[in-house]
Homo-oligomer: A and B are copies of this chain.
Amino acid sequence: MPRIVDHEARRRELTEALWRVVSRDGVEAVSVRAVAAEAGCSPGALRHYFPEQRDLIASAMSLVGERTTARIEALSPSGSTLDQVLAYCEQIIPMDDERRFEAEVWFGFISKARHDPELQELTNGVHRDLRGFVSDLVRAMGLDQDETGRLHALIDGLSLHLLLYPGQVTPQEVREHLRSHLSALLEDDS
């Protein structure tokens, strides 16, 4: 065994194993043993990196935030203002499997986080960050900041519907709703 291991990378691996468990068997199936098995190591090894289960979950939720912001920052949208804002918004909506896994993890653990001060602080932070991001979009559209709360709620509502009722709501519909909403906002402004 190598004495020195890239701690950060190992934690990432293990966190992604947790993701796989969640997306395959749901949040209920997450346990120290299940995640360790998925990662192909012993529970003891996992606990070497995450002493408590809470740490694992916190890491998983943080990763959602990190990946979302990374995707946003990597984006260099073109086209009309509407198209650009639309492209940004879609990065936080589960339009494909990748974003669906993120949403699954997020919404899955969020009720666990509600009664855990430490996790709650984390989710509050991510929520604040996202609101700041939406706020920037609203500003970029030259709109009043009153619109931030409404747009943010619309985005999260659409996300929720897409995740929970994929049979009743499709990505195309979501894109249309978002487009018409932004369109109305922009023409209202001019």
Contacts and interface: CB of A to CB of B under 8 A. Distances in A.
A184 interface: yes
Interface string A155-182: 1111011001101110001001100110
A20 interface: no
Interface stretch (A23-31, A32-40, A44-52, A66-74): A23-31
Interface residues of A, number: 42
Contact of A168 (B108, B128, B168, B173): B128
Interface stretch (A1-9, A11-19, A83-91, A110-118): A110-118
Nearest to A25: B115
A153 interface: yes
Contacts of A173: 149
Copies in the complex: 2
Interface string A79-109: 0000000000000000000000000100110
Contact of A157 (B28, B112, B160): B160
24 contacts: A25-B115, A26-B111, A26-B112, A27-B111, A107-B111, A111-B111, A114-B164, A124-B168, A128-B168, A131-B168, A146-B180, A149-B177, A150-B177, A150-B180, A152-B161, A153-B154, A153-B158, A154-B154, A154-B157, A156-B160, A156-B161, A157-B157, A160-B160, A184-B184
